[in-house]
Structure formats: structure tokens, C-alpha cells
Chain A
């Protein structure tokens, strides 16, 4: 036997280890991404054997597609409107749980539980709760003297019902992330601040908030990437209605490609517009929040 075979031994070894995963990755992630870009410049349809290059026609048509504009606006509205509750609710709960309350594991588990459910299960749950005739929320609100409308059938409240549903679904996930971030902040900082006479709110603003900045960045970027792709909640709760009040980009894309027109070229153009919007938002957030992370 040779005395020592260094880490470099077997020049192919690393590639053999990587091969199965990289084949999977190349075939089902990289290739579809590029193929989608190509499709967006063609007149591809479901069942059409040959597709021809049509230049930027699909993109040009998006400029005139008012339903696409509505869905883009709705998606942006949903993303912006849900950002505050998605950032604040889990943070509030995490800060409270981090103040030495009893039963922490149970409490954390209770808030996390909805995140183990599928979007369809969550959607059905809230569809039933918010049912305007027999849903329990309707009964209790009415009993409390609050005028009850049909939340999901009213264009001015339907999106908020979807946001409420989403907050219930994902809060536990972000709560766990915030908790981990909070635990990484050294206790001594708070003790020192207390000695200097800083109250709870003061130390929250001057210690917790700045030190949590990387966590905020993660939550924001994750939330924005997810929000721009919202589909399941809408599909189950409103199917885009009433009218087009909750129609979102992915829903429009889904219907264009698989429900109404089977127009893969147009749907791919939507996908790439969506991709660029998401990318722009993510980069913007990185710039906004990264710039200040100097201690």
C-alpha cells in the first residue's frame, strides 16, 4: 500500500460524488430556467409540436394585457400590505417568548403548528371560519356588535382575508427565526443598558433592533420572494375573485398556460417579468439593509 494518499487522490472522486445531484440539478433547475427564457420568445403552445421565434411579441402583448397589469398590482399590493404584519407579529411573539416566560416549548410549538400544514389545508380552514353564513367568526363578530360582511366576497376585504390566512400560516416559521436571532444577542448588552438606566423600549430600539438587522433582511427577502409567488391561498379562498380583486401573477400565469389558452410562450414571458421584479426587490432590500450593518 502506498504510504499516504492525499486528499487530491483520485482526480475524479469529487466529481463522482457530485454527479447524481448535479444531473438532477442541471436537468430540473438550470435547464428549465433557460428553456423558459427561450419559450418566452416563441409562440409555444400546449400540443404544438413546432414553435417559432416571435421576438419580443409575448412581452409586447403583456403591455396591453390589462388582466396581467391587475394581477401584478394585486401581487404588489399583497406583498407590501402583508410585509408589516409578517415582520411585526412574529417579532412581537418572539420578544415576549424571550422574556423568560414559562412553557416556552409548548408556546413555540403552538404558533409553529400551522406552518406544518399545506396551503390547501390552511385555505380550507379559513374558508370555513370566514364563511359568511355559518362560519364561527361571523357569529362571534355579530354577537360582539361588529357589522359582518362576507369578507371573501367583498373586493375591499378579500385581499385582507388572504393576508390574515397567510399570517396565521407562516408566523411560526418566522417566530423560530427571530427567536434564534434574539438568543444570539449577548445578555450583557441588556444588563449594561439597564445599569445605564435604559428602559425596556429604549433597549429594544437601541440593542435588539440593530442587532436583529441581518434577521430582518432574511425575513424580508424570504417573504418578498414567497409573496410574489402567492397562489395556493388565492386558488382555494377566492379563485382570484371577486371580479379580479385578488387575481395574482402566478394565478394568471397558471391560467394562461394550463387553463384557458395553453399559451406557454406568453406564460413564460410573465414568469420572466415576475423573476426580474423579484430580483429587483431582493437586491433593493439587500442594499437598503446591508449598507447599515456595520458595528
Chain B
């Protein structure tokens, strides 16, 4: 068989597989748009007709349920953006001297950070709870933002240091001769040159904070402060017997921000995963 025929067949096969791979997600979207009485129809209907956005309205605004998805969506946005800000700032500041300056303890600090990537998050769950409780941070934004940021910090340092090492140092040397201090060089030269990798780190940090489940499950006990994954998991308990419509509407809403980021920055996300994995 000639190469191009073979390649065309393989392409067709892969497209079929990819579509099949997306079917579960499509089914969730379809279900969320159906009228309640059509959701349980057999055989399964893949076109939601007549369509309704009623389930979205209910999970976003109805206050009769234990967990309100609208409020949870807002909480998740605050926590994720807060965590992104803390992670990007602290890891960029820490990665810079590790890449560019000589000082006592440099390899120790770097070794500790890389080693900490092996610490399973589940192992520090209980003591982290004790700490956050002692700080009076349970059910607060900072009680979610700061631990989420700490989880991603070491990875961020690693990723950014790797990138800083590839920036030619002539620009910084020139600025130094002109009398610029290290902070000016860092903010004026290094950070602007690092925008792609800072973007990749921001997406990574956003994803981990947006999707984390176990930590907020224990660190938040006020329904008004639940982030999306916790609210969704509890929504399931509230609706189980009645209908999948509102649950699926909640699931679609929870997927939207990252779907948008993903469609806009597909390349960058993939690049971020690649760099993080292979230079490790």
C-alpha cells in the first residue's frame, strides 16, 4: 500500500477515535440543554430538541439548593486568579537569582524545591488544615489561595529558571553597566522577555487551582465559600434522584473558562506540558 493511502486511512481512523473520545463531553452538553422529561428518553437522543437553558438558570440563580453554582463560579474565579498572581510573582522572583546570581545556599535551595515536587499533596493535608485553622483562614479566600499557590510554587520556579537560563545575558550586562539595579533588570528586561513562559505558568496554576477538589473540600465549610468542584460534588447529592439536567449544566459551566483558554492558547498549554515534563 502506498504511503499516502496508508496515511489517509490512519487519519480517518484517528478522527473517528477522537470524535468518540469527545462523545462523553458532548453527551454532557446535550443533556444540559434538554427538557427534564426528555433526559431519560430511550433510545438516547443526541439532539436536544426542544432545547432549553432552564437548567443553567436554575443552578446559577436558584437559592433553594445547598450549593449555588453562580456563587461557586465567582469563588473559583477569585481563588484561581489569586493563586495565579501569587504563584507567578513569587516563583519568578525566586527563579531569577537561582538562574543568574551566585550565592551561598543556591544549590541547596534549588535541590529542596525540586525534591519537594515528590511530596504527595495528600501527605500534608492534615497538618495544612491544622495550620490554616490556627491562622483563622478556614472558609476564607486566603485559606484557599495561599495553599494552592504553595502547591504550584516549586514547579513554577523550576519552569521559569529553565527559561531564564536560555535568555542571553548580554542585555542584562549592558543594563548593569548603565547602572540599573537588579530589580530594574528583572522587571524591565527579564520579565518582558519571558512573557510566553509566564503565560504557560499562569495557565498551569489556573488549572490546578480551578480544578483542585480535596483541599477546598476540607478547608471550606460555609456553602457560600465553596469553589466549583466542591459545589458540584454536593449538587450531585442534592439532585441525585431527580434529574441530571442541572448537574450537567453545572458541569458545563465548570468546564467553560479552561475550554476558552484552551481554544485560545492550545499551543502554549501543550508547550508548557512538554517543557515541564521533559526537562525534569
Contact = CB atoms under 8 A, between A and B. Distances in A.
Interface stretch (B15-23, B49-57, B194-202): B15-23
Contacts, number: 279
Interface string B94-129: 101110111100100100110010111111111111
A39 B126 contact: yes
Please classify the interface of chain B as helix (H, G, I), strand (E, B), loop, or mixed, using the class held by over half of its residues. Answer: helix
A103 B153 CA distance: 35
Interface in A208-240: 215, 218, 222, 225, 228-229, 231-232, 235-236
Contact of B113 (A10, A25, A133, A249): A25
Interface string B197-232: 000000000010011111001100000000011101
B28 to A, nearest CB: 5
Given A10-B181, A25-B116, 18 more contacts: A17-B93, A25-B113, A25-B150, A28-B131, A29-B124, A101-B7, A117-B211, A121-B232, A121-B255, A123-B233, A143-B43, A168-B24, A173-B273, A232-B229, A254-B217, A257-B125, A271-B122, A275-B123
A77 interface: no
A139 B43 contact: yes
B130 A177 contact: no
Measured as residues with beta carbon below 8 angstroms from the partner, the interface class of chain B is: 35 or more
Contacts of A113: 22, 25, 259, 262
B153 A25 contact: yes
Interface of B: 7-8, 10-11, 13-15, 17-19, 21-22, 24-25, 27-28, 31, 39-40, 42-44, 86, 89-91, 93-94, 96-98, 100-103, 106, 109, 112-113, 116, 118-131, 146-147, 149-151, 153-154, 157, 176-177, 179, 181-182, 186, 207, 210-214, 217-218, 228-230, 232-233, 236, 244, 247-248, 251, 254-255, 258-259, 261-262, 266-267, 269-270, 273-274, 277-278, 280
A125 B24 contact: yes
